[in-house]
Amino acid sequence: MIGKLEGKVPPGPLEQKWRNHKNNSRLVSPNNRRKFEIIVVGSGLAGGSAAATLGELGYRVKCFCYQDSPRRAHSIAAQGGINAAKNYQNDGDSVFRLFYDTIKGGDFRSREANVYRLAEVSNLIIDQCTEQGVPFAREYGGLLANRSFGGAQVSRTFYARGQTGQQLLLGAYQAMCRQIALGTVKMFPQTEMLDLVLVDGHAKGIITRNLCTGEIQAFAGDAVVLATGGYGNVFFLSTNARGCNVTASYRAYKRGALFGNPCFTQIHPTCIPVTGHHQSKLTLMSESLRNDGRVWVPKRTEDCAKPPKDIPDADRDYYLERKYPSFGNLAPRDIASRAAKEVCDEGRGVGPGGRGVYLDFADAISRLSEDTIRERYGNLFDIYQKITAEDAYKTPMRIYPAVHYTMGGLWVDYNLMSNIPGLHVIGEANFSDHGANRLGASALMQGLADGYFVLPYTLPNYLAGQIGKRPSTDDEEFKRVESEVRERVKKLLEVNGERTLTSFHRELGLLLWDKCGMARNATGLREALEKIPDLRDEFWEKVRVPGEGESYNQSLERAGRIADFLEFAELMCIDALERDESCGGHFREEHQTPDGEAQRDDENFAAVFAWEFQGNGKVERPKLHREPLHFEAVHLTQRSYK
């Protein structure tokens, strides 16, 4: 029975909460730390930084990932940058401003104290990563350089060309490797967590499958940390790496962990448009490009087929600059995405199918030179050229919104612990500090804040009472969950139908994009809720999973993940239907302002929706718990970027 949801936000003034909480948190003494085994699932920026830091502190860490190396975690894909309130530009930035931009950017649907803490530790991240040798871009005089990202009127984004995630990940990986060499961290690559084990209601272990040999194994620990990333791939097409999935979070949910705001999905405005049925993935063009690129479409539909160079300036609609003069091309993602959809719905989109808008660098090139633009974004222009065979130095890029990030995730309290004692969730996998819309360059900040600077302080609050309580994998519960995992793997292989995995995944993704994507309404969501269970039934009758369980079998891996998506998609639609308001990326067509912006309903929906699995293994309507959101330092307003 889950009682009242407690965010466990510490008392006191906002700017003192974190300091006071650290001062009042429990400690585990150095000679006791080595007695604890911590299971960290995920070795991206969140998991890698947590594993390295916990190892450095002296805990014994077992770290798992499904890739062949931690260096291949999806975090490597992050291009544009990481925010911090250093105010190196002297342009008026501060911890409060970063906090305020983030909470407003999220349309006032995140926990105030968590967001303030995030802004507070942002500066430590930059110092730590610089010390590690992360090659952030620098100004001529040697100071670290900054650029702007959406939803901010200051330049606070630190970057390493268009490879920020990769460079930060190398930093975390090095730190983790040091611990691997010292023996405090043991790495288990190509090992997928397939279930969570609870002993006496506490998270005390996981069941995994070795992806090379198929061996199913149990691991016990004193606490479990999930850092398993986001689930954007539920939509089939997204900018996420192909392997990103919901399995670890969803299976923890089925064991009792609450899922927070599952319908909050970020649609990124600047991605290379879909070109056809052959695609299994979409490509992001970093938001940083909107520092210098101008977004436009033709004013008249009859001009849409003309080459862009033949459309004079007077006949172009720079719609973001027109609608949002204060933020212009750097309007936040949810707003810029909807604006692109709107002009395309009006028939003014460009490129095949009319689902594209221009991102044009001509002005920036004539102002700054092609060399400067190449230096800033060269690798992004190269990616664009390789995919579209077009030279964006000569002709504008064509872009369109695509699924990119999931603000929803497992519910956690201020200590980053879920409602299951011992189960902690960090990075994109938790329901996050980004509310209903994440600002650019804030995911890397959150993942590293959680792993380097928050979890190491909050985890001892749980561990201090757990000395000597680690169960053995011989415990009944481990045996029971392990046999359920074996049964499920066997069942997937036994269906032996004729329909491909991809066909199921694509059908689900298109349905979700259509009914629970950039815009949603009650009728569409109800339709999706009728169709998803049928598709799921068909999957279990007709799917074909070739190969066997005792060897390397990527089809089997995918099958398990798609089976989870087929259940999880229903939860997303239930959540989207229940939240009868618009906020951030959750745009319910029934609720818009006269200008077509998201219309919140603070009286009824200023709350985190946290869903509890019901159904004893089967999918039934989940139970809703609400965590009311209280705002002391900010005043809730209609978001405006005009």
Ligand X SMILES: Cc1cc2nc3c(=O)[nH]c(=O)nc-3n(C[C@H](O)[C@H](O)[C@H](O)COP(=O)(O)OP(=O)(O)OC[C@H]3O[C@@H](n4cnc5c(N)ncnc54)[C@H](O)[C@@H]3O)c2cc1C
Looking at the Cβ atoms of 209 and 625, the one nearer to ligand X is: 209
Is there binding between residue 448 and ligand X (CB under 6 A)? no
Contact segment (CB under 6 A) with ligand X among 38-46, 212-220, 327-335, 581-589 equals 38-46
Choice between 350 and 407, CB closer to ligand X: 407
165 is a contact residue toward ligand X (CB under 6 A): yes
Give the tokens for residue 159.
Answer: 């970057």
Question: How many Cα neighbours within 13 Å face the side chain of 55?
Answer: 27
The two three-digit tokens of residue 270, written as one number: 């600047």
Which listed range, 40-48, 84-92, 297-305, 407-415, lies at the site for ligand X (CB under 6 A)? 40-48
Of 411, 443, 442, 414, nearest to 427 by C-alpha is 443
87 vs 432, beta carbon nearer ligand X: 432
Q: Residue 610, interface with ligand X (CB under 6 A)? A: no
Binder among 87, 110, 163, 164 for ligand X (CB under 6 A): 164
- 337 contacts ligand X (rule: CB under 6 A): no
- Which of residues 337 and 466 has its CB atom nearest to ligand X in the complex? 337
Q: CB of 330: closest distance to ligand X in angstroms?
A: 14
Please tell me whether residue 402 binds ligand X under the rule CB under 6 A.
no
Per rule CB under 6 A, is residue 240 in the interface with ligand X?
Answer: yes
In the complex, the smallest distance separating the C-beta of residue 598 from ligand X, rounded to whole angstroms, is 22
Kindly list the strands in the beta sheet with 607-612, ordered across the sheet, starting from the edge strand earlier in the chain.
Answer: 409-410, 259-260, 607-612, 623-628
- Alpha carbon distances (Å) from 364 to 294, 327, 361, 417: 9, 17, 5, 46
Select from 28, 40, 45, 501 the one that contacts ligand X (CB under 6 A).
45
Neighbours of 79 (CB within 10 A): 24
Residue 333 is a catalytic residue: yes
Which range binds ligand X by CB under 6 A, 39-47, 178-186, 495-503, 602-610? 39-47
Distance (Å, whole) CA 45 – CA 538: 37
State yes or no: residue 151 binds ligand X (CB under 6 A).
Answer: no
- With contacts defined by CB under 6 A, name the span among 67-75, 324-332, 452-460, 565-573 that binds ligand X: 67-75
- Name which of 159 and 319 has its Cβ closer to ligand X: 159
Shortest Å distance, C-beta 238 to ligand X: 7
Q: Considering the complex, what minimum distance in angstroms separates the CB of residue 485 from ligand X?
A: 12
Measured from the CB atom, the residue of 155 and 592 that comes closer to ligand X is: 155
How many CA atoms does the CB half-sphere of 498 hold within 13 Å?
0
- Whole-angstrom CA distances from 248 to 110, 279, 414, 429 are 23, 26, 21, 9
| Smaller CB separation from ligand X, 43 or 179 | 43
Tokens of 202: 């506490």
Exactly one of 72, 209, 294, 333 is catalytic; name it. 333
Q: Contact between 229 and ligand X (CB under 6 A)?
A: yes
Question: Which one of 37, 93, 101, 428 is in contact with ligand X (CB under 6 A)?
Answer: 428
Cβ atoms of residues 255 and 244 within 8 Å: no
Question: Taking CA 520 as the corner, what is the angle to CA 515 and CA 523, rounded to the nearest 5 degrees?
Answer: 70
Among 25, 32, 67, 385, binds ligand X (CB under 6 A): 67
Site size toward ligand X, by CB under 6 A: 44
626-631 long-range Cβ contacts below 8 angstroms, 24+ apart: 626/5, 627/5, 627/6, 627/7, 627/111, 627/411, 629/108, 629/109, 629/110, 629/111, 629/112, 630/112, 631/108, 631/112, 631/606
Helices (H) and strands (E) in the chain, counts: 18, 19
Residue 444 found at the interface with ligand X (CB under 6 A): yes
Cβ 266 to ligand X shortest distance, Å: 9
Handedness of CA 65, 66, 71, 77 (dihedral sign): negative
Among residues 447, 456, 517, 622, the one that binds ligand X under rule CB under 6 A: 447
Contact 54, 459 (CB under 8 A): yes
Query: How many CA atoms within 13 Å lie on the side-chain side of 192?
Result: 27
Residue 330 interacting with ligand X (CB under 6 A) = no
What is the C-alpha separation between 332 and 592, in angstroms, rounded?
17
Stretch that binds ligand X, among 341-349, 423-431, 571-579, 620-628 (CB under 6 A): 423-431
- 267 vs 443 by CB, closer to ligand X: 443
CB 228 within 8 Å of CB 106: no
Q: Is 467 strand, coil or helix?
A: coil
Q: How many CB atoms lie within 10 A of CB 142?
A: 6
260 lines the binding site for ligand X (CB under 6 A): no
Phi, psi of 612 (to 5 degrees): -110, 130
Q: Please answer whether residues 49 and 451 qualify as being in contact, where contact means their C-beta atoms are separated by less than 8 angstroms.
A: yes
Site residues (CB under 6 A) for ligand X, limited to 283-302: 284
Closest C-alpha among 346, 332, 363 to residue 270: 332
- Beta carbon of residue 275, minimum distance to ligand X (angstroms, whole number): 18
CB nearer ligand X, residue 158 or residue 319: 158
585 binds ligand X (CB under 6 A): no
Distance in angstroms (rounded) separating the CA atoms of residues 541 and 559: 13
N-term to C-term CA, the chain:
46
Output the residue with the shortest Cβ distance to ligand X. 44
SS3 279: coil
Q: Does 454 bind ligand X (CB under 6 A)?
A: no
Residue 210 as a binder of ligand X (CB under 6 A): the answer is no
Helices 501-516, 522-542: crossing angle, 10 deg rounding? 170
Q: Rule CB under 6 A: say whether 415 interacts with ligand X.
A: no
The pair of structure tokens assigned to 60 is 């014994």
Question: Contact 491/511 with Cβ under 8 angstroms?
Answer: no
Min. distance of Cβ 171 from ligand X in angstroms?
13
- 51, 193, 485, 566: residue in contact with ligand X (rule CB under 6 A): 193
Residue 221 C-beta: closest distance to ligand X, Å:
14
For position 74 contacting ligand X by CB under 6 A, the verdict is yes
Name the segment binding ligand X (CB under 6 A); options: 8-16, 242-250, 385-393, 622-630. Answer: 242-250
Residue 437 and residue 408: Cα distance in Å, rounded?
10
Does 336 help bind ligand X (rule: CB under 6 A)? no
Residue 75 binds ligand X, judged by CB under 6 A: yes
Which residue number, 473 or 592, has a Cβ lying nearer to ligand X? 473
User: Any contact of residue 65 with ligand X (CB under 6 A)?
Assistant: yes
Quick one: which of 108, 405, 568, 613 contacts ligand X (CB under 6 A)? 405
Which residues carry out catalysis? 333
Binding region for ligand X (CB under 6 A) = 41-47, 64-67, 73-75, 77-82, 164-165, 192-193, 227-230, 239-240, 244, 247-248, 284, 404-405, 427-429, 441-444, 447
